[in-house]
Amino acid sequence: MRTEPRWHRTRSTRSITPNKRSKVLAGATALLLPLAAMVGLASPAEAAASATATYTKASDWGSGFEGRWTVKNTGTTTLTSWTVEWDFPANTKVTSAWDATVTNSANHWTAKNLGWNGTLAPGASASFGFNGSGTGAPTGCKLNGNPCDGGPTVPGDNAPSAPGKPTASDITNTSVKLSWAAATDDKGIKNYDVKRDGATVATVTGTTYTNTGLTAGTDYSYTVVARDTADQTGPASPATTVRTTGGGGGENPGGGKINLGYFTNWGSYTVKNLVTSGSAEKITHINYAFGNVQNGKCTIGDAYEDYEKSYTAANSVDGKADVWDQPLRGHFNQLRKLKAQYPHIKILWSFGGWTWSGGFGQAVQNPTAFAQSCYDLVEDPRWADVFDGIDLDWEYPNACGLTCDSSGPASIKNMMQAMRAKFGPNNLLTAAITADGSNGGKLDAADYGGAAQYIDWYDVMTYDYFGSWSAQGPTAPHSPLTSYPGIPAQGFNSADAIAKLKAKGVPASKLLLGIGFYGRGWTGVTQSAPGGTATGPAAGVEPGNQYYKVLKTTCPATGTVGGTAYAHCGNDWWSYDTPATVGTKMAWAKSQGLGGAFFWEFNGDTANGELVSAISNGLK
């Protein structure tokens, strides 16, 4: 029988502490980032029969764009490094880049791999991206000195033009028919390479092709490249994205956007509840919280809950009870069963959190050793198949949370660089970070821009801006989307935090908007509108904190401010998100080109997953 209290393990979700804000400023480069939906334009292909370099314009907002290159080893031997070169017109240039070192000489641009993504086994690929200004497209692409498309150059014989954008028809669970307008060439067209996600899947003589053997409920991107009679290839057609029908739980519920939820190892919410609530069909990722950081290493957070606790048939995802001698039990085994039923879900093991962030400062004194310890734990053979990567929740680098850190602005970049080098390109690497958008605040205390090149995305904790730690008020929403007249502190809102991260060079697609599935509240409040005085925290699951599933009936919303809801009932005043305000926030996230959203945490939602559904619907 375990008798230790659980409250001390609970993660406080405060992402902003109004006091003790660090005044250290980090350099920032102002960038315009995507506001439009993803638009693919490709000009790819294969380098000297051993590798391909594929270009896609991920988004375009008029005066600028986000470009993405994918290098794939199509040969039979390992590629140890790669260099992609191309030319831009004089009015087009790269303004910032990630996952590669990009330089230029006038209009000629060169991108070289970083230390962690240069080695590509046969069939493997690596991608890098950049923000650009202007409207031009790349030309003259070379990969490791060879033509990117692998075609010859024939003097006096022009390469063919780009074919028309493919049109998709007759889409089924496993196939799609593609048609396109013919390319032109001065000597004549020989055939066409049909490319799916940058790789050639067929070469045809006509202008139609039916691709079979696809997976239901899956997105595919198609382009077509023409070959002339001398086997020269021209630029690729514009890309067409196709989603096959069917797929059930395997479909991406966010239409390509991330819908990630934190699952805590101490809450009453079980993995099976993900299924019974309908949430498993709608989420894309889970952060399992928390592992600890101790003595410079990643360590187990709670062995009993993580992998020792037995589940009955009634509480198990697949309806089968654990037995005493099975090698893995606990949440880890339940998550394994969940992934078997919902293979689209990716799971990351999250380390740190409010309570357990104190160990990061020691850990980053030797980032390589720290990364090795985390890799050894996450990839332990007993549960390696459960996890798809690691999430690091450091509250906060070079600033104060529950404890204060003084490891310096570069500490988070050094940590992420070491983590990426160890975990490699095929594991997810993410971080939950502060959302303090104030001048000289926590976002300015550490090099989040520099660290971004190594991560897949940031979970920006855009909640807990205000709460009953200011016991007398003023009352204010804990998760405002935007500022509003009378807000107690400037920069304490989602829009300012996202804008600051973009200005530091973090791509919009690497930012997730945070949603709290709970409210923050005061008591002793007589004023209904925000800004009132209080006498202390309202009663809740902990003082000043209550789940949405409770508040929606005990203290229904009476108004909105700054894009989120608030409620005044009796002497209590609460702020929290509702399905309606979540919808507003998701529309805003899409307008900003963000990668999606995440939330803390499943325990706060209703039995039928109201808030998870609101995020999923809002991201479509």
Which pair of structure tokens corresponds to residue 460?
Answer: 């920006």
Q: Under 8 Å CB-to-CB from 19, ≥6 apart: which residues? A: none
Closest C-alpha among 352, 383, 541 to residue 461? 352
Strand order in the sheet with 199-204: 199-204, 189-196, 219-228, 240-243
Count of CA atoms in the C-beta half-sphere (13 A) of 54:
30
Cα 611 to the center of its chain, rounded Å:
19
Burial (0-12, 13-18, 19+ Cβ within 10 Å), 457: buried
Which pair of structure tokens corresponds to residue 609?
Answer: 């997953």
In three-state secondary structure terms, 417 is helix
Which pair of structure tokens corresponds to residue 386?
Answer: 């459960």
Cα–Cα distance for residue pair 221/258, rounded to 1 Å = 19
Cα–Cα distance for residue pair 237/316, rounded to 1 Å = 49
Cα–Cα distance for residue pair 441/120, rounded to 1 Å = 40
| Catalytic annotation, pick one of 66, 305, 395, 610 | 395
Q: Are strands 518-523 and 572-576 parallel, antiparallel or unpaired?
A: antiparallel
Q: Where are the alpha helices (DSSP H) in 491-609?
A: 494-503, 548-554, 579-591
Burial (0-12, 13-18, 19+ Cβ within 10 Å), 63: exposed
- 305 is annotated as an active-site residue: no
CA distances from 586 to 80, 345, 528 (A): 41, 20, 27
Cα–Cα distance for residue pair 558/570, rounded to 1 Å = 12
Active site residues: 395
